[in-house]
Amino acid sequence: MAAIKLNSSRQRSGAAGILLLALLAILVVVFRPWDAGSAQHVPIGAAAALQLVHEARVCGSPATDQYANVQESCLLASPVARWWREARAELGPAAVTASMRVHIERRADYDGMAVRWGIGHTQPSVEACAHACLTHEPVPQSGHLDELPCNAFVWCAAEGGCWEPDIHKHSFGDCWLKFTEGPAAPEVNMRGELSQRQRSQHPDAPTEVQWHAGAVLPRGVELRNGSWSPRYEW
């Protein structure tokens, strides 16, 4: 993945988010973009709608205020969550899982809300962590975040444990299963070498990111470079 300069992510206003959510709802109804994940020949409109649904972010950045005011109801109604529910209802869970593709980026950390806590949930490799995300089964109709699918993951690759700007101890093999809006344009916490500012602010930080991250996307949806999450500034 090209190491281009990323723009800082900004929380969208409520009015803009509602307008975008309405537009994407129309795209979902008109183009039925869940078909794009399994059809052999996908109409251009459906493929474009599918990409847009997986890049859309209408609920803001959860880490803006250190996850103090996460809008659970907004995330549950978000375009990508709605796509996932409607695709499974029409095609069946097995067909949707089979239509997905795993993308892995080494030396990176993607933001998102945990649908499976990573501490104590260990996997032997990033590929195994990706498979755990792909096959994760949410709790139906719970009304909470555990009702959401896993579409992003982060795996600790350092045998001595992985650094994060938080109070937790992260051990080798920890596998975080996450839900994020816009998984095709992820919010990136860290990537590649840590900046001089990060290392100055955190003297115990390593030179290079110790995590591997990735996203689970329908076939045909491209993983973009994304943008820095608010956590990048922690």
- Cα separation values, 229 from 49, 93, 165, 180, 183, Å: 24, 31, 13, 12, 13
- pLDDT digits over 13-47, tens only? 444 444 444 455 444 544 454 454 443 334 445 88
Choice between 115 and 27, residue whose per-residue pLDDT is larger: 115
Q: Determine the residue type at 139.
A: V
Non-local CB neighbours of 207 within 8 Å, separated by 6+ positions? 193, 194, 199
Determine the pLDDT at residue 200. Answer: 87
Does the residue 189 lie in any domain? yes
Does the residue 126 lie in any domain? yes
Q: What percent of the chain shows pLDDT beyond 90?
A: 63
Does the residue 7 lie in any domain? no
CB 25 within 8 A of CB 79: yes
Does the residue 183 lie in any domain? yes
**β-pairing, 175-179 with 152-156?**
antiparallel
Does the residue 204 lie in any domain? yes
Q: Which domain holds residue 149?
A: 14-233
Does the residue 20 lie in any domain? yes
Residue 167's pLDDT band (cuts 50, 70, 90): confident
Q: How many CB atoms lie within 10 A of CB 26?
A: 10
Choice between 113 and 63, residue whose per-residue pLDDT is larger: 113
Residue 152 has pLDDT above 60, yes or no: yes
- The predicted model scores a pTM of 0.82
Does the residue 29 lie in any domain? yes
- Cα separation values, 138 from 58, 192, 214, 228, Å: 22, 31, 19, 27
How many domains does one find in the chain?
1
